Amino acid sequence: MAFGIVHIIYAMNAAVMTLTFVIIFKKYLTEKNKLTLIFSLVILTYAVICTIFVGRGLFDANTAGSMLFQRLYVVTMPIIGISLATFIFYPIIIQRGGFKDGGAVTLLYTILWAVAFTTMFMLGTGEMTYQYSELAVDLYSITWGGLSYSQILSIMLVIGTTDIIGLAIMVYLESDPFFKTRALLLFVGWLMSVVGVVLVIIPGLLILNPVVFGLGGYIMAYGILRNPPQ
Amino acid sequence: MEFLEIHHNEGDIAMSVAKSQEIFVFCDIYKKNILLKIPEKGDAKRVGGLLAILSIHGNPKHESLFYLDANYRVRGCEYPAIIESETISTHPARLLAKKGLTLEQLVSCFGNKSKTAVSNFTKFIVQTLIRNNSYLIESDLINGDTVRDHIELLFSEQGISLTLIRREEEDKVTGIYPTVFDLESKKFLTEGVNLKIPYFENLVKDIMKEKDNFYSLQNELSKMIYSYTKLKEILSTTSSSIKDTELARDISIDLPVLTILTKMAENEGIDIKTKVEFNGIGRALRSF
């Protein structure tokens, strides 16, 4: 079993995000607001990703079980990005429906879905290799066709980066101090989560992945769970 | 039961607290929404039962003792300074709540099954709230009068359009999208303006679980109508458009209710489309 500090941090993050999901989903059951449901799915996916990573730690490295959980972990990654994109862009599409800029946002959103499906397919079917002998770290690589692991993850980062820009626009446009702070916390939290994913492909900084990714999750959870003024 | 005393200036709060919960309640005497700041130490969720809050406000100043439940919803109100006076003892909400129908009985007039009754009652209340022409059909005028009086009481002194007619008087129905409910068959003949009302259905269901629920619903509806008055004031004095999220904050109401209030304003001929801007991103941030 390769369970270590990395998995403990991920387990803590999974617990926090699961609790956050329960609170938001209860709110959805009361108010039946579609946006609440969409955001609860973002948080649920976050919790699932963390839980899968914890599952990987239950197996020895470079075994079938470890590789299965690693593949599940990376395949699930685009789902959180596309769920967040839905939360950000769905109300804009509704708001600007019938206008040119609304059409542009719809096109962008459709492209993000295509990117999500493509990268999920590549990561789900690509060839997986264990890289300890080359890099001396507990790292897997997935290649697909002529594309390297870094190139596949770079394609996936299109979704994460678009979400970062969307959240930055939210921060800029919001005038109410409480909700501006909420948008800022979501922006910072998601930015850190994306940076955390990027760290996975930089062997020297790999150890920082759970800390940065986890901290990003905590910041998002804090932004969500703060009580708005009545 | 925890007891807190709060002194208000006209229209705002004089009491200063570092960290508090803020809620709006409608004062029957003042006829305005009153902002209560509840200090954390008085958190009703911690004490479990009702939280009694004495608010001194208005011009001339008067005392109102509000009873709040764990969800900070008003379950009752007393006026200690005039508690023995005629004003409170003959307050219509209390008279009917004591002598007339309970909220459960009133709701049951709108359907044979509980779920249908709540759904129909809520639809009818919302149509009446947006000042759509509302009609109740009942051949037994005593029964019809009782239901109508109770609904009018829910909208205390707010000038709604609610008419009781006999079945053979259907030709008296007017309006483009009137709402007509037959109390005998417990079915709508016409439902009125098409609106999404899950917020209201949840509100009614929530309130019905509690004691003194007639008063609670009346207070919630009164708050909405007060906010509607503020909405009309703001829209009549502003020339530029305003985001719906900002408008909701300015008139102290939840966003889902604002949709209903803007519908009311449209029914009164106010230009909502150019004056109120739908803030999609803002709504996303307010969805949890």
Q: Which residues of A touch B256 (CB under 8 A)?
A: 31, 33
Give how far B142 is from chain A: nearest CA, Å. Answer: 37
B108/B191 Cα distance (integer angstroms): 18
Q: In this predicted structure, what is the pLDDT of residue B97?
A: 47
Q: Which residues of A touch B202 (CB under 8 A)?
A: 30-32
Q: Which residues of A touch B281 (CB under 8 A)?
A: 88, 91-92, 95, 169-170, 173-174
Residues contacting residue B233 through CB under 8 Å, at least 6 positions apart = none
Give how far B24 is from chain A: nearest CA, Å. Answer: 8
| B45 at A interface, C-beta within 8 A | no
For residue B242, the chain A residue with the least C-alpha distance is: A175
Instruction: Note whether B286 and B243 are within 8 A (CB).
Output: no
Residues contacting residue B84 through CB under 8 Å, at least 6 positions apart = none
Q: Which residues of A touch B280 (CB under 8 A)?
A: 91-92, 94-96
A115/A122 Cα distance (integer angstroms): 11
pLDDT digits (tens, 9 = 90+) for B3-45: 455 554 443 333 333 345 667 777 777 777 777 777 655 444 4
Closest in A91, A94, A224 to B288, CB measured: A224
Asked if the model's pLDDT at residue A147 lies above 80, the reply is yes
| B3 at A interface, C-beta within 8 A | no
Interchain CB distance below 8 Å, B282 and A179: yes
A18/A25 Cα distance (integer angstroms): 10
Phi, psi (degrees; rounded to nearest 5) at B79? -120, 85
Interchain CB distance below 8 Å, A173 and B285: no
Give how far A48 is from chain B: nearest CA, Å. Answer: 20
Interchain CB distance below 8 Å, A95 and B24: no
Query: What is the full per-residue pLDDT of chain B (288 aa) written as tens digits?
Result: 444 555 544 433 333 333 456 677 777 777 777 777 776 554 444 445 677 777 877 777 777 778 777 667 777 777 765 444 444 334 444 444 445 788 888 999 999 898 999 999 999 998 888 778 899 998 887 888 888 888 888 886 566 788 889 888 888 888 888 899 999 899 999 988 877 777 788 888 888 887 778 888 888 888 888 888 889 888 888 888 888 888 888 887 877 778 778 877 887 778 888 888 877 778 788 777
Q: In this predicted structure, what is the pLDDT of residue B22?
A: 67
Q: In this predicted structure, what is the pLDDT of residue B68?
A: 77
For residue A221, the chain B residue with the least C-alpha distance is: B288
Q: In this predicted structure, what is the pLDDT of residue B188?
A: 93
Q: In this predicted structure, what is the pLDDT of residue B127?
A: 87
Mean pLDDT of A8-22: 90
Q: In this predicted structure, what is the pLDDT of residue A113?
A: 95
Q: Which residues of B touch A95 (CB under 8 A)?
A: 278-281
pLDDT digits (tens, 9 = 90+) for A51-68: 998 998 888 888 889 899
Interchain CB distance below 8 Å, A95 and B278: yes
A228/B4 Cα distance (integer angstroms): 23
Distances (CA, A) of B126 to B104, B191, B195: 17, 11, 9
For residues A230 and A200, the model is more confident at A200
Q: In this predicted structure, what is the pLDDT of residue B93?
A: 46
Interchain CB distance below 8 Å, B281 and A228: no
Please report, in angstroms and rounded to a whole number, the separation of the first and last CA atoms in chain A.
Answer: 49
Q: In this predicted structure, what is the pLDDT of residue B41?
A: 55
B287/B70 Cα distance (integer angstroms): 22
Nearest residue to B10 (alpha-carbon basis) of B54, B56, B52? B56
Q: In this predicted structure, what is the pLDDT of residue A160?
A: 93
Q: Which residues of B touch A30 (CB under 8 A)?
A: 202
B243/B276 Cα distance (integer angstroms): 6
Interface of A with B (CB under 8 A): 24, 27, 30-33, 35-36, 39-40, 87-88, 90-92, 94-96, 169-170, 173-176, 179, 182-183, 224, 227-230
B183/B145 Cα distance (integer angstroms): 11
Instruction: Note whether B149 and B92 are within 8 A (CB).
Output: no
Q: In this predicted structure, what is the pLDDT of residue B102?
A: 84
Interchain CB distance below 8 Å, A33 and B287: yes
- The number of C-beta contacts closer than 8 angstroms across A and B is 68
Instruction: Note whether B135 and B179 are within 8 A (CB).
Output: yes
Q: In this predicted structure, what is the pLDDT of residue B15?
A: 34
Give how far B199 is from chain A: nearest CA, Å. Answer: 6
Q: In this predicted structure, what is the pLDDT of residue A19?
A: 92
Side chain identity at residue A43, one-letter code = I
The dihedral over CA atoms of A17, A105, A33, B267, expressed in degrees to the nearest 10, equals: 160
Interchain CB distance below 8 Å, B285 and A39: no
Please report, in angstroms and rounded to a whole number, the separation of the first and last CA atoms in chain B.
Answer: 30
Give residue limits of the domains in chain A.
Answer: 5-130+137-225
- The per-residue pLDDT of chain A, averaged, comes to 86
**Binning pLDDT at 50, 70 and 90, where does residue A81 land?**
very high
pLDDT > 70 in chain A, percent: 93
Asked if the model's pLDDT at residue A124 lies above 80, the reply is yes
Q: Which domains does chain B have, with CATH numbers?
A: 2-90 (no CATH), 93-288 (3.40.50)
Q: In this predicted structure, what is the pLDDT of residue B94?
A: 46
Q: In this predicted structure, what is the pLDDT of residue B120?
A: 93
Interchain CB distance below 8 Å, B286 and A87: no
Q: In this predicted structure, what is the pLDDT of residue B74?
A: 75
A115/B174 Cα distance (integer angstroms): 55
Interchain CB distance below 8 Å, B288 and A179: no
Chain B residues 249-268 with a CB less than 8 Å from chain A = 249, 256
* SS3 readout for chain B: CEEEEEEEECCEECCCCCCEEEEEEEECCCCEEEEEEEEHHHCHHHHCCCEEEEEEECCCCEEEEEEECCCCCEEEEECHHHCCCHHHHCCHHHHHHHHCCCHHHHHHCCCCCHHHHHHHHHHHHHHHHCCCCEEEECCCHHHHHHHHHHHHHHCCCCCCCEEEECHHHHHHCCCCCCEEEECCCCEEEEECCCCCCHHHHHHHHHHHCCCCHHHHHHHHHHHHHHHHHHHHHHHHHCCCCEEHHHHHHHCCCCHHHHHHHHHHHHHCCCCHHHHEECCHHHHHHCCC
Q: In this predicted structure, what is the pLDDT of residue B35?
A: 75
Please name the fold of domain A5-130+137-225. Answer: Rhopdopsin 7-helix transmembrane proteins (1.20.1070)
